[in-house]
Amino acid sequence: MTSTTEQFADLSATTLLRFATAGSVDDGKSTLVGRLLHDSKSILTDTLEAVEAVSAQRGQDTPDLALLTDGLRAEREQGITIDVAYRYFATARRRFILADTPGHVQYTRNMVTGASTADLAVVLVDARNGVIEQTRRHAAVAALLRVPHVVLAVNKMDLVGYEEKVFAAIAEEFTAYASDLGVPEITAIPISALAGDNVVEPSAHMDWYGGPTVLEHLETVPVSHDLTACPARFPVQYVIRPQTAENPDYRGYAGQIASGVLRVGEAVTVLPSGRTSVIEGIDALGESVDIAWAPQSVTLRLKDDIDISRGDLIAPSANSPATTQDVEATVCHVADQPLSVGARVLIKHTTRTVKAIVKEIPSRLTLDDLSQHPNPGQLVANDIGRVVVRTAEPLALDSYADSRRTGSFLLIDPADGTTLAAGMVGESFASKAETTVQADEEGWDF
């Protein structure tokens, strides 16, 4: 039972951290997630009783915390996590949305899914095995998706005698690799998910470690508000025209601000047409406001009656993106059917869906050594590669490095609607912080 003070603290905790977990099969990821939920008192009695009953039925002495997270029949049968699950918990300091992603190689696309909306990624390694191919793959995916914070959780420290030098060697190797990929912040924590060391409670076995526990770090890491520092972008979702007696002339452009800040009186340009106007009013879900920012859903009214429909992008005239019909991007291929040069696809970018042709696949990346294979001809499930796509109509694109929202897109199979690939416009990996000044960075442009 939580105390009264904790309850009221819970109710006032207002910031939200979205994070994703990744680890190889048998690294103990489900146990870590179970431990995090269990020790932070986020598991309610009836749920825990169900887990205890199933564990006892299977002849286990202690509840198998992995059962808390493996929700599908097939997952429990095989003891592995197949699909991303989203979980919700809160502490006195913060609310969390956890994307619990599978670690198996064949489900790399699911880690991409989890990482696409994450502010932080926890990469798990087994202290006995150290950094393996899957660890490098997970670090690379986090870097590619530009997740701002990465935590390396070195698990099963109890099986290596809680030795500092084992942890230090793994932390050093991982930090060097991830920094090279441009991961801006890396925190390494030695843990035992099974025994509960340094997950929620500090470990009594590792005096040599002076850093935070996993939960402490999650509670205190700064949540980025970069969205509002970027130029404003407003993809139009829907045109609201009541044409009623009360509102005969109302014409509003509904959408969610993808990045930046919009103000009444600001001069704006509508893309791809290039027509200009001025923001006359902003309706924030029924209330008129002077200013609004990402990620608020609002409705804009403009001074001039110009032709605007779903798929258009409204941006400040002083800082609007260029439009192009030639898109160069990194894609993660997420479908079972391959993507080949010459394929006719649909590209879904913000609220706009247009026809496109895959003109080139210049390279495919091997994540374990980051080597590039030129002109592979096609990409198959879980491949990451560079593509050049020609679109039937111009798109107003930003670089993914500048905006996750307006720099990302989906490729869709027009025949059956399958999501084929997730795309990120522009350079793939960020360069090291020290070298950004003379960043030509052909090295990472595979």
Partner 1 sequence: MTATVAHVHEGTDAPYALSHLDALESEAVHIFREVAGEFEKPVILFSGGKDSIVMLHLALKAFAPAPVPFTLLHVDTGHNFPEVLDYRDRAVAEHGLRLHVASVQEYIDAGKLRERPDGVRNPLQTVPLTEAIQRLKFDAVFGGGRRDEEKARAKERVFSLRDEFSQWDPRRQRPELWQLYNGRHAPGEHVRVFPLSNWTELDVWQYIAREGIELPEIYFAHEREVFKRNGMWLTAGEWGGAKADETTETRLIRYRTVGDMSCTGAVDSDATTLDAVITEIAASRLTERGATRADDKMSEAAMEDRKREGYF
User: Rule CB under 8 A: which of 269-328 touch partner 1?
Assistant: 283-287, 289, 291, 293-297, 310
Q: Residues 139 to 168: which contact partner 1 by CB under 8 A?
A: none
Binding of partner 1 at residue 348 (CB under 8 A)? yes
Binding of partner 1 at residue 256 (CB under 8 A)? yes
User: How far apart are the C-alpha atoms of 85 and 69, rounded to whole Å?
Assistant: 8
Q: In what order do the strands lie in the sheet with 85-90?
A: 85-90, 95-100, 16-23, 120-126, 149-155, 185-190
Binding of partner 1 at residue 179 (CB under 8 A)? no
Piece of the chain touching partner 1 by CB under 8 A; list 39-47, 124-132, 148-156, 269-277: 39-47
Question: Are 239 and 251 in contact, with CB atoms under 8 Å apart?
Answer: yes
Binds partner 1 (CB under 8 A): choice among 95, 104, 301, 303: 95
Binding of partner 1 at residue 71 (CB under 8 A)? yes
Q: How many residues bind partner 1 (CB under 8 A)?
A: 86
**Least distance in angstroms from the C-beta of 242 to partner 1:** 4
242 preceded by a cis bond (ω within 30 of 0): no
Largest CA distance in the chain: 77
Residue number with CB closer to partner 1 (283 or 445) = 283
Binds partner 1 (CB under 8 A): choice among 52, 83, 158, 173: 83
**Least distance in angstroms from the C-beta of 412 to partner 1:** 6
Which of these, 186, 84, 172, lies nearest to 143 by C-alpha position?
186
3-state SS assignment for residue 94: coil
Binding of partner 1 at residue 340 (CB under 8 A)? no
Residue number with CB closer to partner 1 (4 or 438) = 4
Binding of partner 1 at residue 87 (CB under 8 A)? yes
Binding of partner 1 at residue 334 (CB under 8 A)? yes
Binding of partner 1 at residue 228 (CB under 8 A)? yes
Binding of partner 1 at residue 46 (CB under 8 A)? yes
**Least distance in angstroms from the C-beta of 260 to partner 1:** 9
Q: Residues 99 to 118: which contact partner 1 by CB under 8 A?
A: 109-110, 112-113, 116-117
Strand-pair partners of 276:
269
Residue number with CB closer to partner 1 (112 or 200) = 112
User: How far apart are the C-alpha atoms of 198 and 350, rounded to whole Å?
Assistant: 41
**Least distance in angstroms from the C-beta of 431 to partner 1:** 23
Q: Treating both helix axes as pointing N-terminal to C-terminal, what angle do 164-180 and 133-144 enclose, rounded to 10 degrees? A: 40
Binds partner 1 (CB under 8 A): choice among 39, 40, 54, 93: 54
Binding of partner 1 at residue 175 (CB under 8 A)? no
3-state SS assignment for residue 191: coil
Residue number with CB closer to partner 1 (160 or 410) = 410
Piece of the chain touching partner 1 by CB under 8 A; list 47-55, 161-169, 196-204, 390-398: 47-55
Which of these, 398, 414, 446, 420, lies nearest to 332 by C-alpha position?
420
Q: Residues 5 to 24: which contact partner 1 by CB under 8 A?
A: 7-8, 10-11, 14-16
Binding of partner 1 at residue 241 (CB under 8 A)? yes
What's the token pair of residue 366? 């091997």
Binding of partner 1 at residue 138 (CB under 8 A)? no
The 386-425 site mask, x for binding partner 1 (CB under 8 A), equals: ------------------xx--xxx-x---xxxx--x---
Q: Give the C-alpha distances (Å, rounded to integers) separating 349 from 295, 307, 410.
A: 17, 20, 7
- List b or e across 346-365, with b for residues whose CB sees 16 or more CB atoms inside 10 angstroms: bbbbbbbbbebebbebbbbb
Q: Count Cβ atoms below 10 Å from residue 125 Cβ, excluding itself.
A: 26
- List b or e across 316-336, with b for residues whose CB sees 16 or more CB atoms inside 10 angstroms: beeebbebeeebbbbbbbbbe
Q: Residues 351 to 390: which contact partner 1 by CB under 8 A?
A: 351
Chain CA centroid to CA 404, Å: 9
Binding of partner 1 at residue 56 (CB under 8 A)? no
Q: Count Cβ atoms below 10 Å from residue 190 Cβ, excluding itself.
A: 28
Binds partner 1 (CB under 8 A): choice among 28, 102, 190, 255: 255
